[in-house]
Structure 1
C-alpha cells in the first residue's frame, strides 16, 4: 500500500513537471520566433542603412551638380531662353530625386523607431529593477540577455542545500521583484530553476535534479503570489543541470550554476504584433 502511495505521488509530480516543460517549450518557441523576426528586421535595417550611406553620397554629389547647374543657368539665360527652359527642367528632375531619397530615409527611420521603442522599454525596466532590488549584493545580478531583462539569484541566497524551502532573506528580495512585476501589467515573469550536476539522492518526494529545479521555481512563483504578484503573469520552469554557466569541476563553479533566473519580458503576442505591423508598413510603402 505504501509503495502504491509513493508511486502515485511521484507520477503526479512528473505530470506537473511535464506540463511546465510544455508551457516553457511553447513560450521558448514563440520567443525564438520573435527573435528570428528581429534578426530578419535587423538584416533588412542594415541593408537599408548601407543603401542610405550610398544614397547620401549621391545626394551630396547631386547637390554639388545642382549648384553648378544653377550657376550655369544664370549664364545661359543671357544667351538663350530655350536653354534656360531645359536647365530649369534638369533642376526640377534633380529636386525630385532628392525628394525620393528623403522618403527612403523616412522608411528607415520608422523601422529604427520600432526597434528603439523596444530598447527603451528594456532600459526602463532594467533601471526600475536596479532601483528597486539594488546592486549591492554579489548574489544578485540584473542584466539583459538577447534583448530580455533578467534577475539571477544565487542558490545560497534562496534555499538551503538540497531544499526548495525559501529563506527569509529571499523573501525580502522577492518582495521587491513582486513590486516591479505589478508595475508592469503588460509583462510576464518566467521563473527558471537551475541546479549543478551532482545527482540528487536525498530521498523524499523528489526524484532528481529535474524535480528539484522545477520545485524551486514553483516555490518562487508561490512566494511572489503571496507577496502580491499577479499569478496570471507568472510562469514556472525547471532546467535541471543542463544549462550551466561554467563547468561543474569545482565546488565554487557548482555554486555558480545553482541559481534561479527570473526573466521579465513583454508579452510575446504584443511585441510580435508591434514588429509585424512595422514590417508590413515598410513593405507596402516599398511597393508603392
Structure 2
C-alpha cells in the first residue's frame, strides 16, 4: 500500500523537475537522443555487414578445406595402392616409383593450398587493418572497408568523393584517396578495380546519357586521380560502371539512395596467380591392377 501511495508523489516530482527544464534544454536532449538512436542503427548495420563478411569468409574457407580434404583422400588412396604394390611380388619397380612420385606431388600441392589460403587471409587482414587505422574518424563515416570471399572492398560515399552534381573528384577527397593509394602501392601484386554505382534516379545533365555513363565517368575520374596524383601504376587499374543495377539498399528511401550512390575500390589478387595454382594441381593415374 505504501508503494501505491508513493507513486503519485513520484509523478509529481517528475513533473516538477520537468517544468524546471527549459524548452531549449529539452530540444538539446531530444537531439542527443536522436543522434544516439541513429548511431545505434549504424552500429547495428555494421554488425550485420560483419556477419555477412564472416559468412563469406567461412564459405571461402570451407571451399579450400574441402579441396584440401579431397587431396588428402587422394593421398590415402595412393598410399594404399603403394602398400598393395609393396606386398605383391608381381608388381614392378616402375609402378611403385610412379605411386611414390604421385604421393609426394599430392603432399606438395596440399601444402601449397594451405599456404596460399593462409597467405591470402593474412594479407587481406593486414591490408584492411592498415587502411582502417590510417583513416580519421570523420573519414570512416564516408568510407566502408570489408573483406568478402578473399576480396577487399573499399566503398566511398559520393558526397565525399565528388563535387555536387559532377563526376569530378572533389578537393576534400584528396586526403582520403592519398591514404588509399599508399595502401594500394604497398600491395603491388594486387589488381584494383574502380567501380561506380548510382541510385535509380535518371540523370538529366547534358552530355551524360544515363546512369551507366555517370557511374563509368566517376570511376574513370578516380582511376585517373590514383594514376596522375598518387602514382599508382595504371596497368593495375580498371575503371567500370554498374549504373543503378547493383544496389545495396532500397532505392525507395532517401537513405537507401544515399547508400547506393557510391564508388567501390576493389582490391584482388591477380587472376593469373589463381590460374597458375590451379594449373599446378597434380595429375593422378589409375592405380596398377593387382
Give the deviation of 1:130 after TM superposition: 2.1
Q: Is the 8 A contact 1:162 1:200 kept in 2?
A: no
**What is the Cα-based RMSD across aligned positions, in Å?**
3.3
| Distance change >3 Å, CA 48–CA 241, structure 1 → 2 | same
Q: Which runs of 4+ in 1 moved over 6 A?
A: 37-40, 102-107, 285-288
| Distance change >3 Å, CA 199–CA 253, structure 1 → 2 | same
| Higher relative helix content | 1
Q: Distance in 2 between matches of 1:259 and 1:46?
A: 40
Q: Distance in 1 between matches of 2:277 and 2:69?
A: 20
Alignment equivalent of 1:197, drawn from 173, 196, 200: 200
3-state SS of 2:243 partner:
coil
| Distance change >3 Å, CA 116–CA 194, structure 1 → 2 | same
Unaligned runs of 5+ in 2: 1-59, 77-102
Alignment equivalent of 2:66, drawn from 43, 48, 51: 43
Q: Is the 8 A contact 1:217 1:238 kept in 2?
A: yes
Ranked by relative contact order (alpha carbons within 8 Å, sequence separation 6 or more), the top structure is 1
Alignment equivalent of 1:154, drawn from 142, 149, 157: 157
Unaligned runs of 5+ in 1: 1-36, 55-101
Q: Distance in 1 between matches of 2:270 and 2:279?
A: 14
TM-score by length of 2: 0.60
User: CA offsets per residue over residues 200-227 of structure 1, 9 Å max, x none?
Assistant: 113x211110000000000101111122
3-state SS of 1:111 partner:
helix
3-state SS of 2:204 partner:
coil
3-state SS of 1:124 partner:
helix
Q: Distance in 2 between matches of 1:255 and 1:111?
A: 41
Q: Is the 8 A contact 1:135 1:141 kept in 2?
A: no
1:79-94 equivalences under 5 Å are none
How many residues were matched structurally? Answer: 200
